[in-house]
Structure 1
Amino acid sequence: MITVSIMLATLIQTLDSTIANVALPHMQGTLSASQDEITWVLTSYIVAAAIATPLTGWLSDRLSVKRLLAFAIGGFTVASALCGLSETLTQIVASRLLQGIFGASLVPLSQSILLDINPREKQGQAMAVWGMGVMVGPILGPTLGGWLTDSYNWRWVFFINVPIGAFALFGVLTFLPSRPAKHDAKFDAFGFATLSLAIGALQAMLDRGEQLDWFGSLEIRIEALLSVLAFAFFLVHTATAGAKSFFRYELLKDRNFATGTCFIFVIGAVMYATRALLPPMLQNLMNYPVATTGLVTAPSGAGTMVAMLFAGRLLKRVDARVLLLAGFLISAFALWQMMQYTIVLSASDIVWPGVIQGFGLGLVFVPLSALTFSTLTPGLRADGTATYSLARNIGSSIGISIVQTLVTRNTQIAHAGLAANVTVFNPAIRPMLQDGASLNMAVLDQAINQQASMIAYLNDFKLMFVATLLVLPLILLIRPAKVVPGAIAHAAMD
């Protein structure tokens, strides 16, 4: 019953990482938001979770694991209800921030509890169950979100969390045993505050830069300055505070960990950015129904799950670095396929590149985690997993912001380039211009807008394709390490 309860809590957290994606175009109309503004619904959640995740260890010591988990589930459930009740963009972004803050500790706590309640010989099986549960959320997210939005409305993608959260909270309060809290746990408030300010200011700059003409705006310049100064203070504090620091700088001395963290940053950016791009592209440009959008984007998660099952077994026979290279090359191939998209696409044209990309990313996850943590000392493992998760979340947030900004900007640039060909000297256009009918002009303008948007999306896929290839040389920096199977399973799930 403990396992069921904490897996339900994990499910609602992972579900919310993808369930809102297919509903974004519907939210955009209801909340009167622009295309780049509506992505705040995704990035606010990811940033809040990224900032709050490192607090999990300290809070569990201060409050006890049971209290913190109950508090996190209850807060996440209430925040989900507030998201569904939101009437403005400001309200839903604030509610998503609360969701991210409360949900940040759900996944690490669920993993920790499963390890605690199972004997050592069954911990591998427990982590496999946990890993499958973590993957169910992103797989179900697009399909469930599409069905709920199509059958009811977008608010139900948040309301669905309320009954699940209530069952999870009841199970935790009833079956999870209490343990005394450690009231003497110390917390580096200055380090946490400076890192949070740096991340928050950077995200605000990326989200609002396109609207405010970037560094032509005083607000953007202030946010950029705040981010740089806060991060500089964080670095100096980390270097001088020693063991009392919020971040253990000894982690960076481990070559495998430093390289693996760079990799997971890029993976976070590419994986979540792709999932954020596809639903608006399919619904706005190709008129896909929201339910169909969910169905054709969900198989990428299935590809990831299948690859993770294979990767765990292959690690015993194949060099983990070879698996890492293969996974990145497969992911790059999928992005190359996406670069060939046109306005007219069948369902299979969307499904197969998604499955291939998901398979490639799944092939990367397990060996990357194993290599990243294989050379860390046990004393640094807890801090390493928090930093690793933080890098993935920040990469996801920055990746989504960048690709959405580029879609908006490149659409305008492509529109100007295409519209320059609409002249009386163009034989394909001359009859429409000579006729002068307003209907013809409207159809022509719609076609130009559609093509310009498609060009912008293709440019984003090309950017992610290049970024995936550029990190490949970092594999040469990773040292092979012999890791026992139990440690591989533990590191992979971390």
Structure 2
Amino acid sequence: MNSTALYGDLKGGKLALAAFVLALANFMVVLDMTIANVSVTHITGSLAVSSTQGTWVITSYAVAEAICVPLTGWLAGRFGAVRVFGLSLLGFTVFSILCGLSSSLAMLVICRIGQGIFGGPIMPLSQMLLMRIFPPEKQSQAMGMWAMTTVVGPILGPILGGSISDNLSWHWIFFINIPVGILCGFAALKLLKSAETPIAKLKIDTVGLSLLILWIGALQLMLDLGHEKDWFNNTSIWILAIITIVGFITFVIWEMTEKHPVVDIKIFRYRGFTLATFALALGFGAFFGSIVLIPQWLQINLGYTATWAGYLTATMGVGSLTMSPIVAKLATKYDQRALACFGLLLLSGVTLMRAFWTTNADFMALALPQIIQGFAVPFFFIPLTNLALASVKVEEMASAAGLMNFLRTMAGAIGASLAVTIWDDHAKVARSEMVSNLNIEQTQQHLIDHGYSEGSVMGIVSNLVDKEAMTLSVNHVFLILAGVFLLAALIIWAAPKAKGAVEGGHAH
């Protein structure tokens, strides 16, 4: 890093303030990954769109962020880490304002893409700059604070998102970024001048970047639009599928031969990194799919408010906060594969518990899997990250971390799209089967005997069938996700045992 000259430039109150600014900026970006999850129902109702279309608000942000993470190193080297960090914060704030002002789904999705583009470099740069301003003996404490914001953000996101959507309006989940973004952006540019990195005229792999945007954009469009376009019965879905496949193959060939690739694919030559990253992507895809799906089902089917859906989703945070430091210590003593396998099997078990949820389930029946999941997440996340990064050479660690974060974020976006699509598709199948087995005349007469008018009976029956069909469908999705966790738990044993430890800064 060549940062030894920086130690001591910031002292006392200025150092504490700089660290607070970096941590707060990271917290804001992490918060925005989950704050919209419980607000999707409010957004879809306000903009008059379906729940599958509402999920685009989450996936568009994740995809844009994923594409920008690998570019962080080049941006920092070309324009300076502090400058890029400050401008990213200001750009993120501008797009947050535009998200809040959006009056259509198209405008909101475009602005969420803008948020993701500017938000992508903030997390890795906040980590890097913390390492630059603190002396070596205090870096682990600084990284502990940084890691805490990364853990607390997803916990508070659903609570804040739900409370704001219910008491103000969904627009304010974006407007709350304004004071934080402006404060952190200007404070970073002023306070961190001495931590600025050298600037050089670095080459960028424009062809590789263009191909990356092309095939990932086509893939995400195919997943998001497939449900509405009747999948491969539609020509546009076929075109997107062909663009995805051809674009991906061309991208891989180009990156393998490029001297300065935008994504260093050669890192996949390490079996430990490849398998650990693949297991991490599978696990995170299933995990993110479930945390996007649960709040929507709670609000649409069980009549939960966004606030209470947020509280229930956030019960997961207790276990995550408790177990993160414990698992970090266990990871230095025990086989990373065993810890990761335990975490993934636990996640498979709690997801299987959800596959038996009913429409009359009480709060504790719904919260228990969330609480257990919180304890499982650090067991899955920390060892797999350590195992992946311990498999590569020290000089390749930054590229490996960037590639791993890119694949994890992409897997989350794909998992969310598929989970909501399968839920909606299977609900139609379940409804059709229920209607064909329903004795309408007997049900009608039973309700009329209990004082209901003939005109209201069909509406009541239809509503009940819809709710039960959606619950059967959500159970079906959880059964699939439990299988994905189980597959990831088995895959990890094909990876070689980790030979060395990973430096704390990289593990996060």
1:475 aligned to which of 492, 495, 500? 492
- CA positional deviation for 1:215: 1.2
Distance 2:256 2:305 in 1: 53
**Structure 2 residue 274 is the aligned partner of structure 1 residue 258:** yes
- Identity %, equivalent residues: 32
Partner of residue 124, structure 2: 108
**Structure 2 residue 147 is the aligned partner of structure 1 residue 131:** yes
Please give the root-mean-square deviation of Cα atoms over the aligned residues, in Å: 1.7
Residues 306 and 362 in structure 1, CA contact (< 8 A), matched pair in contact too: no
Give 5+ residue unaligned stretches, structure 2: 1-16
Note the 1:100-249 alignment, pairs <5 A.
Answer: 100-178=116-194, 179=196, 181-241=198-258, 243-249=259-265
**Structure 2 residue 507 is the aligned partner of structure 1 residue 492:** yes
- CA positional deviation for 1:296: 1.1
Distance 2:361 2:439 in 1: 30
1:16 aligned to which of 17, 21, 32? 32
Partner of residue 57, structure 1: 73
Q: How many residues align?
A: 489
Residues 283 and 488 in structure 2, CA contact (< 8 A), matched pair in contact too: no
- CA positional deviation for 1:465: 0.2
**One-letter amino acid of the counterpart of residue 103, structure 1:** G
2:292 aligned to which of 276, 288, 304? 276
Partner of residue 312, structure 1: 328
Q: TM-score, normalised by structure 1?
A: 0.96
**One-letter amino acid of the counterpart of residue 54, structure 1:** P
- CA positional deviation for 1:155: 0.9
Residue by residue over 1:11-32, the C-alpha shift from the partner in whole angstroms, topping out at 9 and shown as x without a partner, is 1100001111111111111111
Select between 181-190 and 145-154 the one with higher mean Cα deviation: 181-190
Distance 1:244 1:295 in 2: 46
- CA positional deviation for 1:330: 1.1
Note the 1:413-492 alignment, pairs <5 A.
Answer: 413-423=429-439, 431=446, 437-484=454-501, 487-492=502-507
- CA positional deviation for 1:182: 2.5
Q: Which runs of 4+ in 1 moved over 4 A?
A: 426-436
Residue by residue over 1:24-61, the C-alpha shift from the partner in whole angstroms, topping out at 9 and shown as x without a partner, is 11111111111111111000000100111111110111
Distance 1:250 1:21 in 2: 35
- Secondary structure, in 3 states, of the residue corresponding to 1:17? helix
Distance 1:249 1:289 in 2: 45
**One-letter amino acid of the counterpart of residue 381, structure 1:** M
- Secondary structure, in 3 states, of the residue corresponding to 2:227? coil
Residues 418 and 448 in structure 1, CA contact (< 8 A), matched pair in contact too: yes
Change (3 A) 1:488 1:263: farther
Note the 1:32-51 alignment, pairs <5 A.
Answer: 32-51=48-67
- CA positional deviation for 1:329: 1.2
- CA positional deviation for 1:180: 5.5
Partner of residue 388, structure 2: 372
- Secondary structure, in 3 states, of the residue corresponding to 1:153? coil
Residues 81 and 162 in structure 1, CA contact (< 8 A), matched pair in contact too: yes
Distance 1:431 1:4 in 2: 64
- Secondary structure, in 3 states, of the residue corresponding to 1:343? coil
**One-letter amino acid of the counterpart of residue 5, structure 1:** V
Q: TM-score, normalised by structure 2?
A: 0.93
Select between 181-190 and 364-373 the one with higher mean Cα deviation: 181-190
